[in-house]
Structure 1
Amino acid sequence: MREVAARAGVSAKTVSRVFNDDPHVLPETRALVERVMRELNYVPNVLATTFRSGRTSVIGVAVPDIVDPFFAAIARAVEKVAREQGMSTIVTSVGDDPDDERPTLESLLSRQLSGLVVAPVGTDHSWLKRWQEHTPIVCVDRAPIGLTADTFTEDDATGAYLATQHLIEHGHRCIAYLGDAIHLSTETKRLGGWRRALTEAGLVGHDDLVAVHASDVATTRAAVEQLRSLDDPPTAIFSANARCTMALVHVLRDDPLALVSFGDFPMADILTPSITVIDQDPARIGTLAAERVLARLQDPTAELERVNVIDVALVERDSCRVS
């Protein structure tokens, strides 16, 4: 920067202003400095900038699985907002094991991020308080435990209620719940929504109709076999997340049951039958989360709504009509 300033006959501060597109630089000065930058092939020293500001121009994104369509859409939305602000993103998978969460997040946070967008998987996030003092942390999809943080979640209980009620309206009286990590706030609320819809319809959500830990095709097949073996087997399934549903598509291919999924996924609309879903709009969640990181960077003490619940909507297709 000093070399550019010396050759252009301006201050280093002026060079910085030109590079950062400060509108208060005179047009002729801007043209001169930009010409010298090109001649010297100038790029900013990101490491030096980090030392001066105490943080990198990077937003971290930590989700359970970056291949999961829902979390991939969140990460893409964060990346889009960051790119528009001249920032980068680092995306990592935390996995499903709560014990892996802390070392993964601490490794990410040690890079002096500008902010972190995270979908929590653990059972205690109080340890994040010391990081939160200087790094904006925004949670998506799931609420943190033991930590007050900006959070953007879906209306899980209402979505599960709508899905189950929809199956009831199609004549089903024995509806199973298929989920994964039942300790997560998302699944707890969705299980509650499933039970409420059944109770209001005068039906009973027996515990043997609740199948959890269905995380892949093998575990989902075992869960479905267990459900089918009941004296009064279910005629329909409410699937608590898209990953469970994608496994269910394989398991139910030759012997389908009526189905509604919490969460859409690619090609769900062209399968046979096409999958009725509760649409979550993960792109909006990611956008709002990234924008909240930027807002906290600008004013860490701003009085903003901490807990934000995003509406969901039922998208009816064919799988709810299977009989």
Structure 2
Amino acid sequence: MSDTKIKTMEEFASVSGLSRPTVSKYFFDASSVRKSTRAKIEEALERYDYTPNMYAVNQNRRLTRTVGILVPFLADPFFAEIARTIERLCHNAGFRPIVFSSHGEPELEVDNLKSLLAMKPAGALLAPLGRLSDQEALSSFCDDVPSVLFDSNIENLGEGFVGLDNDQSIGAIVRYLCESGEPPCFFEGRSAPNPNVRSKLRAYKKTMQDLGHEAHIVYADGEGWDFEAIGYQAGIKALRERAFSSNTVLCGNDRLAVGFLAAAYEEGLRVGRGDGCALRVAGHDDHPFSRFTCPPLTTVSQDFDAIAARSVELLTGLFDDHSERPTDRKTTLFHGRLVIRASA
């Protein structure tokens, strides 16, 4: 053992090469940290003269009832609605929720994680940006703070994920569109950051193949979260170039569909199911505005309440002082509900 006397947990964390919250979690419950992290701490304990103040450890754990809620874009009513529901459920469970929005900016997401970590939260509910996220920063945060991801799944991060079963939801709307008219083309952002895009594309291709149809994907160029503008500009270009092989277009999300509806109007194309209609258009998510588009948008509805409730349930279950931090990541996927309106 080294002759160096370590007086504080901050000093011990520094010489261990770990963060203070991680070290604190180890002393409260060694099983709550990863095996490799535990080995690193125990190796440092053999090298340095340090005994933690367990009363302080327990006091620090009890002091915080803060739960962080991180969403990628709070200006989007979709995320505003689910964040509002999660916030209410956290309040009802006796916690103090704090909502952070990354506004589509990777640097701001990292800053939000740092700000939240400084608050010593009891836990966090995270909807990361996805492809644009700093994976190292997210991984480090989830190592230090009990976390559950929702909507945006990044493999192996956090203790669980809660979201929509895209295989089921995309499968349902593709089958409906094929049964009620021409098989749909899929219209999706080429650079969309959300990892749901990949699973939706995969589900679309599989369902079309299962039904004996050829998949046809038209990509919308554009960066960022201004999906309406991307859908409008790319929609105008695709319509003028006759890029769609069908008169039915399934958009990757409702916000993209809103822009595409505007593009169809600009090109003088009537959207709907009736006589004289040139296009059928559908979306995905049942965005709060989708029922008020012209015409109202056929889509797939997500169960906000169920996703929010399960997310909070998973997270608060981690706060039981008598339970170990789980090593198996729990995934809960809810089915979407087909919502048929006038657009398709």
The one-letter code sitting in structure 1 at the alignment partner of 2:61 is S
Partner of 2:32: none
CA displacement at 1:95 relative to structure 2: 2.6
* Distance of 1:122 and 1:105 partners within structure 2: 14
In structure 2, list runs of 5 or more residues that go unmatched: 1-55, 272-278
Residue aligned with 2:120, SS: coil
Does residue 295 (structure 1) correspond to residue 286 (structure 2)? The answer is no
CA gap 1:249/1:174 in 2 versus in 1, 3 angstroms: closer
CA contact (8 A) 1:174 1:235 kept: yes
* Distance of 2:258 and 2:232 partners within structure 1: 12
CA displacement at 1:271 relative to structure 2: 3.7
Deviation string, structure 1 residues 248-297 (Cα, Å, up to 9, x no partner): 34333453331221111224334432211111112221121112211111
Match of 1:276 among 298, 301, 304: 298
CA gap 1:203/1:52 in 2 versus in 1, 3 angstroms: closer
Does residue 223 (structure 1) correspond to residue 237 (structure 2)? The answer is no
CA gap 1:143/1:178 in 2 versus in 1, 3 angstroms: same
Deviation string, structure 1 residues 167-221 (Cα, Å, up to 9, x no partner): 22222145232336445320100011122222233333345x2335473433222
CA gap 1:184/1:297 in 2 versus in 1, 3 angstroms: same
Mapping 1:165-204, distance limit 5 Å = 165-173=175-183, 175-179=185-189, 181-204=191-214
Match of 2:220 among 211, 214, 220: 211
- Relative to the length of structure 1, the TM-score reads 0.74
Does residue 136 (structure 1) correspond to residue 160 (structure 2)? The answer is no
CA displacement at 1:92 relative to structure 2: 1.5
* Distance of 2:191 and 2:119 partners within structure 1: 30
CA displacement at 1:228 relative to structure 2: 1.1
Match of 2:334 among 291, 295, 310: 310
* Distance of 1:287 and 1:166 partners within structure 2: 29
Does residue 258 (structure 1) correspond to residue 280 (structure 2)? The answer is yes
* Distance of 1:232 and 1:296 partners within structure 2: 50
* Distance of 1:125 and 1:55 partners within structure 2: 29
CA contact (8 A) 1:118 1:140 kept: yes
Partner of 1:118: 126
CA contact (8 A) 1:55 1:112 kept: no
Residue aligned with 1:117, SS: strand
Partner of 2:174: 164
CA contact (8 A) 2:251 2:257 kept: yes
Partner of 1:105: 113
CA gap 1:128/1:232 in 2 versus in 1, 3 angstroms: closer
CA displacement at 1:308 relative to structure 2: 1.2
Match of 1:244 among 228, 240, 256: 256
The one-letter code sitting in structure 2 at the alignment partner of 1:217 is E
Runs of 4+ in 1 over 4 A off after TM superposition: 302-305
- Relative to the length of structure 2, the TM-score reads 0.70
Compare 183-192 and 52-61 and name the one that shifted more: 52-61
* Distance of 1:311 and 1:174 partners within structure 2: 21
In structure 1, list runs of 5 or more residues that go unmatched: 1-47
CA displacement at 1:105 relative to structure 2: 1.6
CA displacement at 1:100 relative to structure 2: 3.8
Deviation string, structure 1 residues 109-162 (Cα, Å, up to 9, x no partner): 221112111111144535444433452211001112453531001111221222
Compare 141-150 and 311-320 and name the one that shifted more: 141-150
* Distance of 2:255 and 2:243 partners within structure 1: 26
* Distance of 1:144 and 1:126 partners within structure 2: 12
* Distance of 2:293 and 2:207 partners within structure 1: 27
Partner of 2:12: none
CA contact (8 A) 2:78 2:288 kept: no
Residue aligned with 2:148, SS: strand
* Distance of 2:155 and 2:316 partners within structure 1: 23
* Distance of 1:269 and 1:133 partners within structure 2: 41
CA contact (8 A) 2:228 2:255 kept: no
Residue aligned with 1:248, SS: helix
CA contact (8 A) 1:179 1:241 kept: no
Aligned residues with identical type, % of pairs: 22
Partner of 1:13: none
